[in-house]
């Protein structure tokens, strides 16, 4: 509580150091201002309570007094060092402690490396002549520009995610970042910790992930250079290597496995499975595909640049068995005609739908009717597209044609899909139709109904 008998101004003194408390009422309320000096600089702070003002004043006086006491014990050589230091910083810093604080921060950022060498590089790279743009500011500008260019939303989200992580790790001007820093950061990159166990040790990412991050970061720096936020001769990304990646084994479905999947698939998942398996569209492209781009009369699918991974428009032929499947989707979706527009895939979560599908292929254990065995067709990553490329190449025997249809390079098609399957298997693959799996679908439905009758509770679960 404020002391009503206190006289103002009130002086708090220790040795030659003092702080003064003034009574400074504001808007009809009591207020107290503490004033003290740090060297030539006058400092002040206001309080609503006299007790708090006195505590602050005493703390400042004691701190300053201790500094004076230590200064009084300086040797002659130390005093000379102080004088020389003050002379050196004239015109660059207001005080010795401000100069040293800046020096310490710079050394910490450089992790002990030479500050002079860093500044010399800064000057020789003409960094002083480019706008002072932070990584985050440049990233925000680039994302806005990519959207204006019509880039796909998935591509933009990938840039935002990967470059956003980089921007958080480097919250400074983009022109000051060196290639060795980017390389070190990518090398030490780890997977995100699961929310379920934040204490779990982080594992290093794969080399493929490092390369994906590198590509996004390179895009960011290329944009910065084009906008002249970097010197014209900036080429530090050249010192950031591509990490070696082992070729992944291409996994595909057999014609029998594909027939089983389609026989057990619900109607709303059929377009995803058949367009991926018999036209080779990427999963993300199917998820963004509209029925207006599916032309059954002229038998082709238009993959616009806005949904394609490569940002290049392409026409994909609708092979006869795919046409039969899409016509069956027309019948199930609308008895009169195929919808002219709207998303081809009307599923909120494709991953969960696929999990339910593979679970539906689990046969009943003959020794224990209540138990089901492992799925007859386990799901394989990207296997729909891999299957299409493999069977299509065996069928048409032209890597250039398959590359054009799949939106890939002939070299990639030839390298990964040549001689994986036989021409006979390809004929069976492109002969899978709603009619050919009719018996398999009836069998799957009979098994499902029998299980519902025998174990209604488990079937419902």
Measured in degrees and rounded to the nearest 5, phi and psi for residue 229 equal: -90, -5
Mean pLDDT, contiguous 10-residue spans, the chain (461 residues): 66 84 87 84 87 88 67 65 78 75 81 80 66 93 92 85 95 91 92 56 83 95 92 87 80 94 93 96 91 93 84 90 90 52 86 90 76 86 92 92 90 80 94 93 79 58 48
pLDDT of residue 1: 43
How many CB atoms sit inside 10 A of residue 248's CB?
11
pLDDT of residue 456: 58
Of 39, 20, 23, nearest in space to 31 by CA = 23
**CATH architecture designation of domain 255-460:** Orthogonal Bundle (1.10)
**Pairing assessment for the beta strands 32-38 and 17-23 based on DSSP bridges:** antiparallel
- Cα dihedral 40/46/50/56 (nearest 10): -50
pLDDT of residue 423: 93
Pairwise CA distance, residues 131 & 209, whole Å: 31
Pairwise CA distance, residues 403 & 411, whole Å: 9
What pTM was computed for the model? 0.57
pLDDT of residue 453: 61
Of 346, 350, 348, 328, nearest in space to 338 by CA = 328
- Cα dihedral 113/116/120/122 (nearest 10): 60
290 burial (CB, 10 Å; 0-12 / 13-18 / 19+) is middle
Q: Is the dihedral of CA 118, 119, 121, 122 positive or negative?
A: positive
Pairwise CA distance, residues 62 & 67, whole Å: 9
Pairwise CA distance, residues 459 & 134, whole Å: 57
CATH number for region 135-239: 1.10.150
């Amino acid at each position: 509580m404020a002391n009503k008998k206190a006289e103002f101004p009130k002086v708090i003194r220790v040795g030659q150091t003092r702080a003064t408390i003034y009574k400074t009422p504001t808007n009809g309320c009591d207020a107290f201002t503490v004033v003290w000096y740090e060297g030539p600089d006058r400092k002040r702070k206001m309080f609503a309570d006299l007790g708090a003002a006195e505590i602050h004043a005493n703390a400042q006086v004691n701190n300053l007094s201790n500094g004076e006491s230590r200064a009084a014990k300086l040797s002659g050589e130390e005093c000379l060092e102080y004088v020389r230091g003050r002379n050196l910083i004239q015109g660059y810093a207001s005080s010795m402690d401000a100069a040293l604080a800046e020096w310490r921060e710079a050394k910490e950022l450089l992790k002990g490396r030479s500050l002079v060498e860093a500044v010399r590089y800064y000057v020789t790279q003409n960094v002083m002549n480019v706008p002072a743009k932070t990584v985050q500011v440049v990233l925000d500008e680039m994302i806005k520009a990519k959207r204006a260019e019509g880039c796909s939303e998935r591509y933009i989200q990938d840039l935002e995610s990967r470059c956003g992580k980089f921007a958080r790790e480097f919250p400074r001007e983009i022109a000051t970042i060196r290639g060795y820093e980017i390389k070190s950061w990518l090398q030490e990159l780890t997977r995100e910790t699961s929310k379920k166990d934040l204490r779990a040790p982080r594992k290093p990412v794969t080399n493929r992930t490092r390369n994906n991050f590198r590509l996004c970061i390179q895009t960011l720096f290329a944009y910065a250079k084009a906008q002249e936020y970097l010197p014209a001769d900036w080429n530090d990304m050249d010192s950031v290597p591509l990490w070696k990646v082992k070729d992944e084994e291409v996994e595909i479905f057999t014609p029998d496995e594909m027939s089983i999947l389609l026989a057990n698939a619900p109607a709303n998942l059929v377009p995803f499975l058949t367009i991926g398996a018999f036209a080779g569209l990427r999963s993300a492209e199917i998820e963004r595909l509209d029925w207006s781009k599916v032309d059954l009369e002229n038998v082709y699918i238009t993959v616009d640049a806005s949904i394609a991974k490569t940002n290049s428009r392409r026409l994909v032929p609708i092979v006869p068995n795919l046409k039969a499947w899409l016509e069956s989707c027309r019948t199930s979706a609308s008895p009169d005609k195929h919808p002219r527009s709207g998303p081809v895939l009307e599923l909120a979560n494709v991953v969960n739908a696929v999990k339910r599908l593979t679970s539906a292929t689990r046969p009943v254990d003959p020794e224990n009717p209540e138990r089901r065995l492992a799925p007859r067709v386990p799901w394989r990553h990207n296997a729909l597209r891999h299957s299409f490329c493999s069977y299509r190449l065996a069928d048409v025997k032209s890597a250039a044609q398959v590359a054009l249809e799949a939106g890939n390079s002939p070299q990639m098609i030839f390298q990964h899909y040549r001689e994986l399957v036989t021409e006979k298997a390809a004929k069976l693959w492109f002969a899978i139709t709603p009619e050919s799996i009719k018996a398999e679908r009836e069998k799957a439905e009979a098994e499902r109904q029998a299980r519902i009758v025998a174990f209604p509770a488990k079937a419902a679960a």
